[in-house]
Amino acid sequence: MNARSNVTKRSPVREARERAGLTREQLAVRAGIAGSTLYLVERAGLISEATAAKLSAVLGVPVEDLRP
């Protein structure tokens, strides 16, 4: 069995963050959100409209692209 077959789909926020070359901490500070909030967004896909708007503005991607 391929080890990658058990890997879950990566968070669209994480993918956008990594494309932007930002750490979690850097993105959280720039977006004005708590690091723990960003962790939940990336790990569990929990994202409010307000948080999505903040992340979208910093990452330069549409809000729709940040939803799991």
Q: Quick check: is 67 in a domain?
A: no
Q: Quick check: is 49 in a domain?
A: yes
Which range marks the domain in which residue 51 is found?
Answer: 10-59
Q: Which two tokens stand for residue 34?
A: 């708590």
Q: What percent of the chain has pLDDT over 90?
A: 81
pLDDT digits (tens, 9 = 90+) for 33-59: 999 999 999 999 999 999 999 999 999
Are the CB atoms for 51 and 37 separated by under 8 Å? yes
Decide if pLDDT at 6 tops 90.
no
Q: Quick check: is 15 in a domain?
A: yes
Q: Quick check: is 44 in a domain?
A: yes
Residue 30, judged by CB atoms within 10 A of its CB (0-12, 13-18, 19+), counts as: middle
Could you identify the residue written with the tokens 């968070």? 11
SS3 state of residue 2: coil
